[in-house]
């Protein structure tokens, strides 16, 4: 990956993400929001069948996020992202690129720390999910190691929420305050002035 993010003049046609990247982006965004809600909800519930069922949902959504994060990473490696418009400040390009890189890492590491947490001291080889599915646990982890990974899991979730707030704030700033071309790289946000947006692969 380049150290300096690519930027090119884009006067009449703005290059945006591919349809596949857009679908994966918004699908994962929705799942992350749902997962955060599920996580905080079950964490504050008293022990019992309802909390256990919510925990099954938490594990199931987490496994789905992990699978989609890997798919999204593969898609990203096979499809070069659109360049930034040249009018986007250099520091914002750097911040955007590293924000995305950290997101990619967290969306893989967080589910793995969660799996490690439920694997600690597990007596069964599989941990149950919803819909009759199950996920293999990581063998050989002690209960103490599971607790350690559980703490890391919670800390990384808080970091993700902070980065998500920054990401959303930046997107809204580009769309409604700066009215910058860069907003149109990720529909349904649009570039100002009626500039046409096309997937990079189509240009």
95-109 pLDDT tens trace: 999 999 999 999 999
Q: Is residue 36 part of a domain?
A: yes
Q: Is residue 52 part of a domain?
A: yes
pLDDT tens-digit map of 42-69: 988 999 999 999 999 999 999 999 999 9
**Half-sphere exposure of 163 toward its Cβ, with a 13 Å CA cutoff?**
21
User: Would 2 be classed as within a structural domain?
Assistant: no
**Residue 132 domain boundaries:** 12-202
Tens-digit pLDDT profile for residues 96-154: 999 999 999 999 999 999 999 999 999 999 999 999 999 999 999 999 999 999 999 99
How many CA within 13 A on the CB side of residue 192?
11
Tell me the pLDDT tens digit for each residue of 62-89: 999 999 999 999 999 999 889 888 888 9
Q: Do residues 191 and 181 touch, judged by C-beta distance below 8 A? A: yes
Q: Is residue 5 part of a domain?
A: no
Contact 59, 118 (CB under 8 A): yes
Tell me if 98 is assigned to some domain.
yes
How many domains in the chain?
A: 1
Asked if residue 164 belongs to a domain, the reply is yes
Alpha-carbon distance of 190 to 31, in angstroms, equals 23
Residue 1: inside a domain, yes or no? no
Tokens 């996020």, residue located: 65
Domain CATH number, residue 136: 1.20.950.20
Residue % of the chain over a pLDDT of 90 = 75
CB 15 within 8 A of CB 200: yes
Give this prediction's pTM.
Answer: 0.90
Q: Could you give the 3-state DSSP secondary structure of residue 101?
A: helix
Q: Burial, 108: exposed, middle or buried (Cβ in 10 Å; 0-12, 13-18, 19+)?
A: middle
Which DSSP category does 120 fall into? T
Contacts of 159 (CB under 8 A, 6+ apart): 106
Is the residue at 163 inside a domain?
Answer: yes
């Amino acid at each position: 990956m380049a150290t300096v993010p690519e930027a090119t003049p884009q006067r009449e046609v703005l290059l945006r993400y591919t349809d596949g990247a857009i679908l994966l982006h918004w699908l994962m965004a929705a799942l992350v929001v749902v997962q955060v809600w599920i996580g905080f909800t079950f964490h504050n519930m008293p022990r019992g069948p309802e909390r256990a069922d919510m925990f099954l949902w938490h594990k199931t959504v987490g496994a789905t996020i992990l699978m989609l994060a890997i798919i999204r990473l593969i898609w990203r490696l096979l499809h070069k992202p659109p360049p930034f418009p040249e009018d986007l400040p250099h520091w914002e390009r750097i911040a955007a690129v590293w924000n995305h890189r950290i997101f990619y890492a967290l969306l893989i590491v967080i589910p793995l720390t969660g799996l490690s947490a439920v694997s600690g001291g597990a007596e069964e080889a599989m941990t149950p999910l919803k819909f009759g599915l199950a996920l293999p646990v990581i063998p050989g982890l002690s209960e103490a190691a599971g607790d350690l990974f559980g703490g890391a899991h919670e800390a990384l979730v808080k970091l993700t929420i902070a980065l998500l707030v920054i990401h959303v704030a930046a997107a809204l700033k580009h769309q409604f305050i700066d009215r910058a071309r860069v907003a149109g790289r990720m529909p349904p946000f649009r570039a100002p002035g009626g500039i046409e947006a096309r997937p990079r692969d189509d240009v």
